[in-house]
Amino acid sequence: MMNQRSNRRDFLKKGSLAGFGMLLSGSSLVQAGKAPSEKLNIGCVGTQNRASSNIGGVRGQNIVAICDVDQNYLNRRHRDFPKANKYNDYRKLVDQKDIDAIVVSTPDHMHAPATGAALRSGRHAYCEKPLAHTVHEARVIAGLAKKHKRATQLGTQIHAGGNYRRVVEIIQSGAIGDVIESHVWVGKSWSAGDRPAPAPTPAHIHFDLWLGPARERKYHPNLLPANWRKWWEFGGGTLGDMGCHHMDLSHWALKLRHPVAVSTKGPPVHAEGCPSGLHVTLEYPARGKLPPVQLHWYDSGKHRYLFKKHNLPNWGDGTLFVGTKGVMLASYGGYKLLPEADFKGYRPPVKSIPDSIGHYNEWIQACKTGSPTTCNFDYSGALTEAVLLGNVAYRVGKRLEWDGEKCEVTNSKAANSLVRKEYRKGWEV
């Protein structure tokens, strides 16, 4: 096994890696103005919960600004970084002149506004998944990253793991033949019904700033800190929360980008709350010599028929690739080729994808040198679009035909109204 130093050296030698999408230009080095050994000045939007891990990933740099709408969270984090400036409004953080890069760890509906502000101000940007709250937002943010030539990374941390890289190599080597189906499932569920009754806003919560681009409404305690994921106005349910993590492997291995059609099965649609028990089918066209493929998403146990159909072990969250010569079962930490008898003595191909220097380190290095990141906003923007299209199709209740180049549904005006959204004044993307 190569040591960490050689991994890093080999990684930086690679100017382009198949399936990684657009990589950064060398001009980023000049624009960043940082030597590889010099620390970045980083601003963090969001300080607790998911943000804690993201801050932990970059805390070796200079944390010069922190922002949170929860004053208690903000004060608690400030004890870790007493020299950092404190903000409740990310727009004021963006105005701080000495910041090189910004980490966004907010609820989904704030991802694009905060990340867009970071990119427009010339900062490098790291954003928690999904990249955006709407399909159109994802397209806009990816475009801003390209326009401003900034180093970007989406919070799909497992993408840096060695197992994912070996799975991609095996699939792309043709071990199971031409892949015609991919099935992705998770066991968890974020779902909701009617909105709870409002309650007085706690003194430490700046709720209007938390709402941001969303329409005005009264505070209710079932939103914070995590249950906002259950509501269309702020999150995207289980698919929005976990889709980018688990569909990432299929997008990478199969070189997917924009589907041509999306359909769903699920419970009756609720106007405000996200569903439990969703089955999404995304249809992708041929990619060069690769055949058309269907990507299926399931939550809440809707995938269990696959175990019997393909004689699979009962794995938890996972991905099943169905090829013309066999199947491959994969998870975050392992994989299995089936039928076992057909793959007895199988030897994986020689490594072709370098081991990562670390998910956060990729981005930090890119900010300083212009080196590539593997979940840049070009790649992860298309992934986010596919994930969010599943929710659009479910809410409309019909099979949608998608024009990826134009970023529009061609057979439903109602669906196109969900591809975009309106913003409160001052919070536009």
Q: Are residues 100 and 174 in the same domain?
A: no
How long, in residues, is the chain?
A: 429
Residue 73 lies in a domain: yes
Three-state SS at 293: strand
Of 145, 161, 105, 109, the residue nearest 128 (C-alpha): 105
Residue 180 lies in a domain: yes
Q: What's residue 228's pLDDT?
A: 96
Q: Are residues 125 and 255 in the same domain?
A: no
Q: Are residues 264 and 143 in the same domain?
A: no
Domain boundary among 115, 143, 158: 158
Q: What's residue 393's pLDDT?
A: 98
Q: What's residue 193's pLDDT?
A: 85
Three-state SS at 212: coil
Q: What's residue 21's pLDDT?
A: 34
Q: What's 36's domain CATH number? A: 3.40.50.720
Residue 47 lies in a domain: yes
Cα separation values, 125 from 56, 104, 119, 146, Å: 16, 8, 7, 12
Number of domains in the chain: 2
- For the purposes of burial, counting CB atoms within 10 Å of the CB of 344, is it exposed (0-12), middle (13-18) or buried (19 or more)? exposed
Q: How many CB atoms lie within 10 A of CB 198?
A: 11
Domain boundary among 158, 180, 213: 158
Q: Are residues 280 and 338 in the same domain?
A: yes
Q: Are residues 247 and 301 in the same domain?
A: yes
Q: What's residue 107's pLDDT?
A: 98
- pLDDT tens digits in sequence order for the chain, 429 residues long: 333 333 333 333 333 333 333 333 333 333 445 777 799 999 999 999 999 999 999 999 999 999 999 999 999 999 999 999 999 999 999 999 999 999 999 999 999 999 999 999 999 999 999 999 999 999 999 999 999 999 999 999 999 999 999 999 999 999 999 999 999 999 888 989 888 899 999 999 999 999 999 999 999 989 999 999 999 999 999 999 999 999 999 999 999 999 999 999 999 999 999 999 999 999 999 999 999 999 999 999 899 999 999 989 988 899 999 999 999 999 999 999 999 999 999 999 999 999 999 999 999 999 999 999 999 999 999 999 999 999 999 999 999 999 999 999 999 999 999 999 999 999 999
Q: What's residue 9's pLDDT?
A: 33
Q: Are residues 235 and 96 in the same domain?
A: no
Q: Are residues 34 and 119 in the same domain?
A: yes
Domain boundary among 103, 136, 158: 158
Q: What's residue 33's pLDDT?
A: 53
Q: Are residues 36 and 127 in the same domain?
A: yes
Cα gap 399→88, rounded to integer Å: 42
Q: Are residues 94 and 184 in the same domain?
A: no
Containing structural domain, residue 327: 160-191+230-355+385-419
Q: What's 173's domain CATH number? A: 3.30.360.10
